[in-house]
Amino acid sequence: MSFIDRVDPELRAGLEAFPPDLLDMTDIPGTRLKFTEWMAGLPAAAVEGVSVEEHRAPGPSGSPTVTILLYRPDGHPGVLPAVLWIHGGGYVLGQARDDDALARGLARNVKCVVASVDYRLAPEHPFPAPLEDCYAALRWLWGNAARLAVDPSRIAVAGASAGGGLAAGLALLARDRGEVPVRFQVPIYPMIDDRGLTFSSRAITDPLVWNARSNMLGWKAYLGQEPGGEGVSPYAAAARAADLAGLPPAFIPVGDLDLFLDENVEYAQRLMRAGVPTELHVYAGAYHGFYLMAPEADVSLRFIRDYEHALKRVLHG
């Protein structure tokens, strides 16, 4: 049975509607334009009861300021926990406003402040620029917690795909720099291993949204070199980290038809062996980004409910 044949029936229409050449990583500027238009046309339920403000955080030394969209649920005037949200896009695509509906839903359902960061993109700005932008946003959120009515001891980092990879790298970086405490990490089907050695990373060659070829081109742009070589920082590719002890608890969800499946499962297992409380969810019949294209499918609703419940449990526990 092929990977396409294993797709959940409720997710097939979304996959069939996905333009097969949308993620043509050989023309990144052109792909960015097409991707932005496609994201704007995705089905998304209106989310009421959430206010949003735009802020600027000081960037890394010698770099521009970092734009942050700050979401807060209405009717909750007191101090709230916060989630630093990092959008996906293979390290080369996307922007914070692409995830507006997602951020609004997260703020309302988890009852938290969501800080969605607009980091610089590769290949114009390869590693470490995107990660340092995310760290600058995290440091700004924590340092301005009193003004923003945020509890500085209850800050989580989360993101999907490349955003999940940045969230995992950010958790490592925050641990090692020792400046900002991170309470929880939610790397959602994260892009964390540039080596492409696992079965799933090589086997997903069908369109299935993000495949092996797109993955290698995304990594090459982000690293500024051919992926899989020597000297790649674990902050860029978290799966390369030798020591995972002392990281914040993790919740990692991924579909079983996602090319990131194996590297995500292996990372979750390594986190557990390192003594990090970790919850791993694998969703049958789900390909990369499935919940964006079929938000009303049962598996999509369970997926969103699961990671929102995890955040709520840890941040309000």
Asked about 258 being catalytic, the answer comes back as yes
The catalytic residue among 8, 200, 201, 288 is 288
Q: Please identify which of the residues 116, 161, 214, 300 carries the catalytic annotation.
A: 161
281 has catalytic annotation? no
- Is 161 one of the annotated active-site residues of the chain? yes
Query: Given 98, 100, 133, 258, which residue is catalytic?
Result: 258
Could you tell me the CA-to-CA distances from 105 to 215, 220, 253 in Å, in that order? 29, 33, 18
HEC string of the chain equals CCCHHHCCHHHHHHHHCCCCCCCCCCCHHHHHHHHHHHHHCCCCCCCCCEEEEEEEECCCCCCCCEEEEEEEECCCCCCEEEEEEECCCCCCCCCHHHHHHHHHHHHHHHCCEEEEEECCCCCCCCCCHHHHHHHHHHHHHHHCHHHHCEEEEEEEEEEECHHHHHHHHHHHHHHHHCCCCCCEEEEECCCCCCCCCCHHHHHCCCCCCCCHHHHHHHHHHHHCCCCCCCCCCCCCCHHHCCCCCCCCCEEEEEECCCCCHHHHHHHHHHHHHCCCCEEEEEECCCCCCHHHHCCCCHHHHHHHHHHHHHHHHHHCC
Q: Annotated catalytic sites, by residue?
A: 161, 258, 288
